[in-house]
Chain A
Amino acid sequence: ILNVEQSPQSLHVQEGDSTNFTCSFPSSNFYALHWYRWETAKSPEALFVMTLNGDEKKKGRISATLNTKEGYSYLYIKGSQPEDSATYLCAFETGAGSYQLTFGKGTKLSVIP
């Protein structure tokens, strides 16, 4: 059974603070690591799909890094805004073309104005 762990479980930050979350995943049989943002009453929305060790991706104020050898990924949000409040999910994809995602339980971020 694949185990994907996310920490912290929840986080409250002040507007303007920078923050980061961790996703740990198995280091064997790695294919891709996904990050999704899930706002209440909406669909999960893809942020990044990362495949290469050392990968760094950025979208606006959000960035992510990947270490496949040790099995972790970090998601960073710079200068958090209230609209960043959401649950951030990571998902591990194993095996070429399996299309099966194993999700962590997520980190719930609340940004206080």
Chain B
Amino acid sequence: DQQVKQNSPSLSVQEGRISILNCDYTNSMFDYFLWYKKYPAEGPTFLISISSIKDKNEDGRFTVFLNKSAKHLSLHIVPSQPGDSAVYFCAASGIQGAQKLVFGQGTRLTINP
């Protein structure tokens, strides 16, 4: 049972444009959501997070939006840069204790010059 889903395995965006990565979840008990960025052969790095009491969190070029009624979150990157090319994972927390995270399958973002 995939509780966190990233339905787009890949996304290609022109440099300077907006990248929008999407994530859906099924369990309404999740109360904290995170986005990670991963380069090949490296560990994921934390990007940005959002608590379920908010609907938006912004950090520089990165903004995460949360729609609790739709059980949907998205990561917006504006403007997109070549260094943003990586695999992006969304993750959710809050229902299983021990601060465990449930990860989506990841979306490979490619920024074209």
A binds B: no
A residues near B (Cβ < 8 Å) are none
